[in-house]
A = this chain, B = another copy of it.
Amino acid sequence: MVYQFPVTALQKTTSESTELPKFQQIARMITREIGEGRLADGERLPPERALAQRLGTSIGTLRKALGLLAAEGRIERIQGSGNYVRFDAERDAVYSLFRLERRDGKGQGRPRAKILSARYLKKSAAVSGFGRSDAGTRIRRLRWLDDALIAVEEIWLDGAAGRLDTASLTDALYRDYLNQLNVQVARATDAVSVAPLPRWSPVAFSADTAGYIERTAWSSEGEPVEFSRTWFDPAEAVYVQRLR
């Protein structure tokens, strides 16, 4: 049984509309299908010609969408074979753009997060320079890899991005943004340094200086969406970047 793509989602691009280009709509539609589980990891998409016909688009436009998805790492394209969904729920869930790994490199157990508090607040001074709204959702949480507590985290979702239902947050915040608010985080900048733990932290690390990550994240429309600060235990975790 081959998965049938929805056709409904595509909007007309008239001269007065501000809708996304068709190839981006297609890419987002497929991303949604993956994120919501209707397309499983490893599954093969229909052949390009068939899919293009089903979606009522040309091969070229579909290929542009598939190229975008491949660049985002959501599918793998194999010449002569097909297009395959590449979705690691665990990574996409807690890691997301995040790249904290256990120092010993193992840490293949389940990443977990525990929310300490989640409230809609006026922004504090530390984040006042970020975003368009003067309020936002502040989430504070602890993070584990396997059974090791590795980080303390404070996340601000800008008020202009919408207001989260804080009661139903999951470990996969970025997916929550997408599902609850239709906000897709498309780009981010991480700055890594050293800082002491915040006073509100309910836990302490073995040393009094922690690794410190400031992240700013933007939507695909270029709007600032999220600002987060993460203090990680240098005895337990490292921040990893794989280049190229």
**Which A residues contact B (CB, under 8 angstroms)?**
71-72, 97, 99, 101, 103, 186-195, 207, 209-211, 214, 234, 237-244
Contact = CB atoms under 8 A, between A and B. Distances in A.
A189 B244 CA distance: 9
Contacts of A99: 241
Given A243-B97, A243-B187, A207 B193 contact: no
Contact of A244 (B187, B241, B242): B187
Contact of A192 (B97, B187, B207, B238): B238
Contacts of A244: 72, 186-188
A188 B243 contact: yes
Nearest to A210: B194
A190 B240 contact: yes
A190 B243 contact: yes
A193 B243 contact: no
A239 B189 contact: no
A41 to B, nearest CB: 21
A183 B224 CA distance: 40
Nearest to A103: B193
Of all A-B residue pairs in the complex, the 8 with the closest CB atoms, nearest first, are: A194-B234, A191-B238, A192-B239, A190-B241, A187-B244, A193-B238, A188-B243, A193-B234
Given A244-B187, A244-B188, A239 B193 contact: yes
Nearest to A237: B193
A214 B242 CA distance: 12
Contact of A211 (B189, B192, B240): B192
A243 B189 CA distance: 6
Given A194-B234, A195-B234, A241 B189 contact: yes
Contact of A240 (B71, B97, B189, B195): B189
Nearest to A205: B194
A211 B187 contact: no
A8 to B, nearest CB: 28
A129 B13 CA distance: 53
A234 B209 CA distance: 11
Given A99-B241, A193-B239, 10 more contacts: A71-B71, A97-B243, A188-B242, A189-B240, A189-B242, A190-B241, A190-B243, A191-B240, A193-B234, A194-B209
Contacts of A211: 192-194, 211
